[in-house]
Structure 1
Amino acid sequence: MVDRYFSVDRDFWDCFETRLAEFDADGAMDDAAVLLSSYGSDDWRDSANHDYQYELQQIAEGLSSGLRRHFADWVRGLPIPDRAAIRAPLRIDPGALFLSFNYTPTLERLYGVPRDRILYIHGCASDPTEALILGHGWERAPQERFDREVQDEDSDMRILEGNSILDDYFDATFKPTAKVIEAHLGCFERCSSVGHVKVMGHSLGVADEPYIEEIMDRVDLRTTRWTV
């Protein structure tokens, strides 16, 4: 299904979250359109009132909640090596503050960083009950939504309901950075005393820009040193 509704190239998984916004919604509608039986046709069945929407729902959920579930299972299955097996471990100060975009407890287990020094901004895989956050950063304008179509007496309700399902996909795969920041304001406020910010192993993608901007708002940009 991923290959059908996304352009999968060599960089796809490196830019996975960004690519979630590139879902081929038109292709999904075309595939589901074969189920749009004409009203009054000889082979009409009552299920035809919902077949189109059901097909779109299966596609949208498979690529949103379904893909997120598979991603969480994959992350939670990643082995964390013993420190002795690492040839060149990173120089990590366990007393520093960490904003971790890595879902795994590597900092704790491999480098001995106390949990209270780490903010797992998108969730920690070591907690099997915690939802892991991932998503794109495309916040669509009203005119970019599928449900912008005006309903009138000639509208096909099946198509209108299908449009809402597609909008739900983009909403469900949008990374709610503003809400995440609000939920962890106390942690970001601790950054005010930071004099050196190190960015390690982060793609600096568009979806995560608000976190970087929040840190920049908290630190003293005149004196804080940045290493990227």
Structure 2
Amino acid sequence: MSRSKYRNLIIVGNGFDCWQSIPTSYEAFRLYYSKHVEEVAKALGYGIYTVTDKSGAKKNITAVELIYGNPFEPNHLENEFFWNLEARMDRLDDQKINFFFGRSAEGREKLRKTVDEAITLLRRLFCDWVETFNIKKENSGFRFSDDSFIVNFNYTDTLEKRFGVNPNNDFHIHGVATDPSSIVVGHSTHPEMPLKELIEQHFIKPEDPAKGLPRFEGLYAVEEALYRTDKHTADRIDEFCVSLMKNGVHIEDIENIYVLGHSLAPADMDYFSFINAITRCGCNYEDLSAVGHMNQDFLASLNDERLLGWIILNVQYATAHRGRIDPNAEDIFAFLDDGRNDKMPYSEYAAKCAVTQRFWLEQARRTQDILENLERRCGAQIPEGCHSILSYMDYIDYGHDQRKRNATWHISCYSDADRKRARKVMKELGIKNYSLHSSISDCIADFAV
């Protein structure tokens, strides 16, 4: 391969399109949702529920309001839900939802159906809204040079139409409006698959097998919804690495990172942590891989007894979801179902470690599948001990130059709150060579034409 021509990595967030007067704010989605939710629900064959609020007013709601709101006091969702959509999509109150639908077989089936309707309807409306964006071709007054590679968090083709960007250099990490199936929107807190033991219950031996543990079936339905609405950032990062490889981007050549109109929200911190790691001197790609995150000693020591304990920790982590989203909330299911009123011993740290290890096992398999596809395409065997796409890229390219200095970050900040958040994130990531700019125009002044 020839030497990389790329020197700039440009990260584009929602504020970038808003700066270009494109109505892509979550407030715009809230308005679209309110206007079209009943119409789309009916088109999908979903129910519309008429409820009476505390003031006596009748309101029409859908499964979205039942599941993402309070099912015991159903109402229209608060504006805050939409303004912080991604952060709020993991705040399903699993215990309250289970309690509302009940333990009967009919109730559990209705729970599963309603949860599925809620996430399907919300996604459909979001995708429909994204498809309404119509970007006019205009001269923005800026042009991103050919040595710039874009990590685009938006779904639009603004960069191609207004900034002269080659589509090959514009990687849409969450999909594009022209392909609704590619669109990713959600939280980043439940990337592991829902534990099948929650519904199979093979490891639980109730005194009366006919009774079983029905609430675990409902809990599984909520866990599945949380999994389906997760961004799966590790998968997106793998896609990003493949895109770098396809375009011949040597990440060690990136000198400048521009963050334009991005809020640096917690839901996207995995991306920024990864980008920071791979643009620093002395980065070991294998350490960043799924295998690199595994506790090999723990996994190697798993016998039947320890495996059962591992599964129980995973189950406990799932049942403790309500306490994580609201530490002050009462634990409705704090006691065992056998009536002994014994509280189950629980360590949040141990459970989190168990869940994390299970996730990295799952991720390692998915990354390995990608590597094997690349191996077939490139005709170069995966070297022993290679578990990272960037490591494989380095291998087939006969080794890359060592980075001489850490990349410099340039961040646009719309408000004082943005500046405060940016400084906090830079400190957490250990980044010292950065600059904050009061506007996107100021941040990309070097690209003015």
TM-score between both structures, scaled by the size of structure 1: 0.77
Counterparts in 2 of 1:30 and 1:167: CA distance versus 1, 3 Å:
same
Do the aligned residues in 2 keep the contact of 1:101 with 1:120 (CA within 8 Å)? yes
Do the aligned residues in 2 keep the contact of 1:188 with 1:214 (CA within 8 Å)? no
The CA deviation at 1:105 is 1.5
The percent identity for this pair of structures is 25
Q: 2:186 aligns with which of 115, 135, 149?
A: 135
The CA deviation at 1:121 is 0.7
Deviations 1:27-52 (A, max 9, x none): 3223312x73xxxxxxxxxxxx3x21
Following superposition of structure 1 onto structure 2, how do residues 66-85 of structure 1 map, counting pairs within 5 Å? 66-83=121-138
Do the aligned residues in 2 keep the contact of 1:103 with 1:122 (CA within 8 Å)? yes
AA matched with 1:226: W
Counterparts in 2 of 1:163 and 1:153: CA distance versus 1, 3 Å:
farther
Counterparts in 2 of 1:4 and 1:161: CA distance versus 1, 3 Å:
closer
Indicate yes or no: 2:152 matched with 1:100. yes
Indicate yes or no: 2:206 matched with 1:152. yes
Alignment match, 1:208: 268
AA matched with 2:85: F
Number of aligned residue pairs: 208
The CA deviation at 1:171 is 1.2
Q: 2:259 aligns with which of 199, 204, 217?
A: 199
Structure 1 distance, partners of 2:169, 2:191, is 35
Alignment match, 2:232: 176
| RMSD between aligned residues | 3.0
Counterparts in 2 of 1:10 and 1:163: CA distance versus 1, 3 Å:
closer
The CA deviation at 1:188 is 4.6
Alignment match, 1:227: 410
The structure number with the bigger radius of gyration is 2
Do the aligned residues in 1 keep the contact of 2:191 with 2:232 (CA within 8 Å)? no
Alignment match, 1:41: none
Following superposition of structure 1 onto structure 2, how do residues 50-89 of structure 1 map, counting pairs within 5 Å? 51-83=106-138, 89=140
Deviations 1:116-154 (A, max 9, x none): 1111111111235x4211221113899x99939845244
Counterparts in 2 of 1:101 and 1:158: CA distance versus 1, 3 Å:
same
Indicate yes or no: 2:182 matched with 1:126. no
Counterparts in 2 of 1:109 and 1:198: CA distance versus 1, 3 Å:
same
Structure 2 distance, partners of 1:169, 1:97, is 34
Counterparts in 2 of 1:30 and 1:106: CA distance versus 1, 3 Å:
same
AA matched with 1:105: D
Counterparts in 2 of 1:205 and 1:188: CA distance versus 1, 3 Å:
farther
Structure 1 distance, partners of 2:158, 2:207, is 58
What is the DSSP-based 3-state SS (H/G/I as helix, E as strand, rest coil) of the residue aligned with 1:64?
A: helix
Do the aligned residues in 1 keep the contact of 2:86 with 2:185 (CA within 8 Å)? yes
What is the DSSP-based 3-state SS (H/G/I as helix, E as strand, rest coil) of the residue aligned with 1:122?
A: coil
AA matched with 2:121: G
Q: 2:277 aligns with which of 208, 213, 217?
A: 217
Q: Structure 2: which 5+ runs fail to align?
A: 1-62, 70-76, 282-404, 412-449
AA matched with 1:147: L
The CA deviation at 1:24 is 2.3
What is the DSSP-based 3-state SS (H/G/I as helix, E as strand, rest coil) of the residue aligned with 1:83?
A: coil
The CA deviation at 1:208 is 1.4
Q: 2:84 aligns with which of 1, 6, 15?
A: 15
Do the aligned residues in 2 keep the contact of 1:101 with 1:122 (CA within 8 Å)? yes
* Runs of 4+ deviating beyond 4 Å: none
